[in-house]
Amino acid sequence: MVKIRLRTKFLLSLIFTTAALTGTSLLIVQSYAGKHARQDIDEQVENSLVTFHQFAQQRQRMLAQSAEIAASQPNVKALMSTQHGPTIQDASSDFSVMAGADLFLLANATGKVMALHTATDFNRELAQASLSGTLGRRQSRDWWFGSGHLYEVYLQPIYFGSPLNQVLLGVLVTGFEVDQRLATGMARIALSQVAFRYGTSIIASTLAPDQQNELAAHDVLAGVRAPRMQQVRLGAESFIGTTVELPPSGTQAVTLTVLKSHDASTLFLRNMNRLLLVVGLAAVVSGGCLIFVISDTFTRPLAKVVSGVQALEKGDFGYPLNVHSRDELGEVTSAFERMRRTLHDSQQNLLHAERLATIGRMASSISHDLRHPLTTVLAYAEILSEGDIDEGQRKDVYREIRLSVNK
């Protein structure tokens, strides 16, 4: 059986207690900080959405005003009054540059596309189908999608003279593509990663290509019915995000997914956890050293008493204790010293009594040995004192006396 000393037990128990308290404190701090960090990330995502909505409203007003100004230009009205497609197509190129739009379209009063200017492969057939759908829904703002390109378009009627005359010449459409530039700008404003979707297809995103592919495969943040805040892991990075639908509603929902990096936001927390762990280990080590010193201070006098008991077991009554404390241990040491002195005195008295008893037994034996031959001599002397023995008998008695004396 392994023998564990009291000092070792005391040291191990205090180290275990210190480690348990330190570990519990670290877990409580980590849990509280992690919960607080998650709340901060949720608030940051909410603030990002609020900021985006404010920016989007300002952008929509600006783009709508830009389309209205372009439609009210006399040159545009004069051009549309010709109702000649090739002429309108050629002459409207300057207007498209002035409008600063990614898509510039002019249609006649019946909704037929007369001119289309765009830098992408969004062709006239796609534009005609999209325009017909928007006019059918009587919308002045819509989403147009085709050939992998998504446009936010604004429709503005072109009137002959004052709009109050209600003489419609045609429709002017300015469109602004949802592309990487817009996603990057939105990400800077929202201080987050963003992804624009048309239906389930990601149109533009600031995520890395592998993260974008994983996001497209995730259903948890797809669609407008996604949870308000959801944690998702994309590649080796964890994000907190949500998805909102962008107006206006159309045949396919256009949504914006805002993602805040949970790992980047909790980097300080992880660093703090490592710091707390180092501090905790340092506390355990330094506490262990301090506890060792304290335990040695308390247990050294007890160890001296134990050594004294072991020495007493071997018969050493003079083993020095050298304990002069005035506490309970000092009282125990003093009592043991008195007990040892009393035991030593008792042992000495017992040895003295044993010696006396031995001497008595020896004296008794000697006196017995002396009395035995003297008795024989006395008997023969009594025989000699009698006068009725002959010479031969007297010689025999003398011989026996001599033999008894020689013994």
The Cα 266–Cα 38 span in angstroms is 9
Residue 124: what pLDDT?
A: 95
Cα angle at 66 between 178 and 76, to 5 degrees?
115
Examine residue 167 and state whether it is found in any structural domain, yes or no: yes
List the CATH number of the domain containing 83: 3.30.450.20
- Of 218-227, 293-302, 356-365, give the lowest mean pLDDT range: 218-227
Nearest to 222 by CA among 247, 249, 253, 191: 253
Nearest to 108 by CA among 174, 173, 164: 173
Residue 49: what pLDDT?
A: 78
Examine residue 153 and state whether it is found in any structural domain, yes or no: yes
Examine residue 134 and state whether it is found in any structural domain, yes or no: yes
Examine residue 107 and state whether it is found in any structural domain, yes or no: yes
Mean pLDDT of 86-93: 93
Mean pLDDT of 281-306: 76
- Of 180-184, 339-343, 367-371, give the lowest mean pLDDT range: 367-371
Residue 78: what pLDDT?
A: 92
Examine residue 137 and state whether it is found in any structural domain, yes or no: yes
Q: What is the largest CA-CA distance in the chain?
A: 201
Q: Which helix (H) or strand (E) holds 143?
A: strand 141-146
Provide the domain limits for residue 148. 72-177
- Does the structure show a pLDDT above 70 at 360? yes
Per-residue pLDDT tens over the stretch 162-194: 777 778 999 999 999 999 998 998 888 878 889
The Cα 371–Cα 368 span in angstroms is 5
Per-residue pLDDT tens over the stretch 133-163: 999 999 999 999 999 999 999 999 999 877 7
Residue 177: what pLDDT?
A: 94
pTM of the predicted model as reported, rounded to 2 decimal places: 0.61
Examine residue 136 and state whether it is found in any structural domain, yes or no: yes
Nearest to 163 by CA among 241, 77, 233: 77
Domain count, the chain: 1
- Of 18-27, 29-38, 222-231, give the lowest mean pLDDT range: 222-231
Mean pLDDT of 276-295: 79
- Does the structure show a pLDDT above 60 at 345? yes
Residue 149: what pLDDT?
A: 95
Query: Between residues 86 and 267, which one has the greater pLDDT?
Result: 86
Q: What is the average pLDDT value for the chain, to the nearest integer?
A: 81
Examine residue 94 and state whether it is found in any structural domain, yes or no: yes
The Cα 7–Cα 11 span in angstroms is 6
Cβ atoms 11, 295 nearer than 8 A: yes
Per-residue pLDDT tens over the stretch 39-80: 777 777 787 778 778 888 888 888 889 889 999 899 999 999
Residue 217: what pLDDT?
A: 79
In which band, very low, low, confident or very high, does the pLDDT at 130 lie, cut at 50, 70 and 90? very high
Residue 377: what pLDDT?
A: 67
- Does the structure show a pLDDT above 80 at 354? yes
Residue 309: what pLDDT?
A: 76
Contacts with 128 (C-beta within 8 Å, 6 or more apart), sequence order: 112, 113
Examine residue 231 and state whether it is found in any structural domain, yes or no: no
Per-residue pLDDT tens over the stretch 193-202: 899 999 888 9
In which band, very low, low, confident or very high, does the pLDDT at 113 lie, cut at 50, 70 and 90? very high
